[in-house]
Structure 1
Amino acid sequence: MQQARPAQKDAYALILEAIDGGIYRPGDRLVESELAERFGVSRTPIREALQRLETQSLLVRDGRSLIVASLDHNQMAELYAVRTELEGLAARLAARHATAEEIQVLREMVDEDRALLDDPPALARANRRFHRMIQLASHNRYLVQQLDLVHRSMALMANTSLAVAGRGEVALGEHAAIVEAIARRDEEAANKALRDHISVAFVTRLKLDSRTRLEG
């Protein structure tokens, strides 16, 4: 029994990473045998991982099959509303509790991510690392846990808003403003900078989603 638990965790992480990385997109059917072959994992942990993902509403039933869930307009709005509140709080707490080393890492992330402006998928991954670092710098484990749930659901969005022309450069400028507010220990400014950042991202997302639905 003790050997099965790491395998289950690995299968879950592998499938979640594949969804997050766009290998499996909203509406795609997940077949147990194909997943087991792709990831080199037996079917039992795959089955258990799929059940876990279904419980978390990342997968939904289509007859007897499981498909990657998609978010409608209202679900997206609800998700961004929660994300705005929680990430704003994370920035506020980071301004209060972040160590000098954590602030240095955040600054270096912004600088290093400029090299990724021509690679939206890589920039999207870097963006997640940046936001994760702010969450960890809040030094509040319960907040981090709740944001983990939010960001799992973010994986259900088929495209990154950072792929929109010019958005990546603007986003990095917003990241820099967030970091400087945290460095000044200005809790209100950090909260506002991060909330504004997510608001702009949401507007971009809505435009992208609207265009995608029309083209579909």
Structure 2
Amino acid sequence: MGNDRTGQSLGQNLGQKSGQKDAYSMILEAIDVGVFRPGDRLVESDLADRFGVSRTPIREALQRLETQSLLARDGRSLIVASLDHNQMAELYVVRSELEGLAARLAAKHATDEEVQVLRDMIEEDRKLMSDPNALARANRRFHRQIHLASHNRYLVQQLDLVYRSMALMATTSLAAQGRSEIALSEHDAIVDAIAARDEDAAYGALKGHISVAFRTRLKSDAEAAAAE
């Protein structure tokens, strides 16, 4: 089940922080932050111990996650689902359009303070260039800040669903050589367009950013398949 020692520690922390958080939210968060990775087997008793809850809510949470296609059957076991090539392509199409819209709306509605927060995030992220996993988490935070700056709650909800499915990708495109530097330059261009209140430029910059990320992932996946 992933890196067991690290996963156990992170899982316990999630459980401790959760308070009254339900089992579904705790398991979902564990998938989101990488405690459980695609292909990991989820066992009711292990999860109940990890999160300090009874097996009944765990069972109900697993059933709910299965109906949402975040978990898949492997014989009698449930494992964290993974995305095939077509699913990944479909997800990127939806992500590109929704993120582009978020950037367009952010250019229209973001406050000066929200724009400054985005700039500060980019500067902080430059310190993470040597750690793709940490940079991936920071990247997600940056994109969510753009979603929030759109000031459209329904769009934010839809993008949360998209990012939930993004967690089913086993690797990050930011691990590709040179991608982190390019990605941060693209982030700069997106924020510049938002700050300039140029809705078309913000839309285009974010869509272009997602397109490059998708191409990078496709290339990495092809190289990994050729090496097998």
What TM-score comes out, normalization by structure 1 length?
A: 0.92
Q: How does 1:1-216 map to 2 (within 5 A)?
A: 9-216=21-228
| Large movers: runs of 4+ above 4 Å | 6-9
Structure 2 CA distance for aligned equivalents of residues 93 and 64 of structure 1: 46
Q: Match of 1:79, SS?
A: helix
Residue 3 of structure 1 corresponds to: none
Structure 1 CA distance for aligned equivalents of residues 104 and 112 of structure 2: 16
Q: 1:139 to 1:17 in 2, by over 3 A?
A: same
Structure 2 CA distance for aligned equivalents of residues 126 and 74 of structure 1: 27
Q: Match of 1:139, SS?
A: coil
Structure 2 CA distance for aligned equivalents of residues 80 and 106 of structure 1: 23
Structure 2 CA distance for aligned equivalents of residues 17 and 118 of structure 1: 25
Q: Match of 1:70, SS?
A: coil
User: Higher mean Cα deviation, 60-69 or 186-195?
Assistant: 60-69
CA RMSD after TM alignment:
1.6
Offset at residue 181 of structure 1 (A):
0.2
Structure 1 CA distance for aligned equivalents of residues 50 and 85 of structure 2: 32
- Identity, % of aligned positions: 77
CA contact (8 A) 1:8 1:49 kept: no
Q: Match of 1:185, SS?
A: coil
Q: How many aligned residue pairs are there?
A: 211
User: Higher mean Cα deviation, 193-202 or 204-213?
Assistant: 204-213
Offset at residue 130 of structure 1 (A):
0.4
Structure 2 CA distance for aligned equivalents of residues 198 and 74 of structure 1: 17
Structure 1 CA distance for aligned equivalents of residues 65 and 142 of structure 2: 25
Q: 1:108 to 1:17 in 2, by over 3 A?
A: same
What TM-score comes out, normalization by structure 2 length?
A: 0.88
Offset at residue 8 of structure 1 (A):
7.9
Offset at residue 7 of structure 1 (A):
7.2
Structure 1 CA distance for aligned equivalents of residues 104 and 226 of structure 2: 38
Structure 1 CA distance for aligned equivalents of residues 123 and 90 of structure 2: 32
Unaligned runs of 5+ in 2: 1-17
Structure 2 CA distance for aligned equivalents of residues 215 and 69 of structure 1: 23
Which amino acid letter does the alignment assign opposite residue 107 of structure 2? A
Please give the per-residue CA displacement for 1:73-110, whole angstroms capped at 9, x wherever unaligned.
Answer: 11000000000000000000000000111101001001
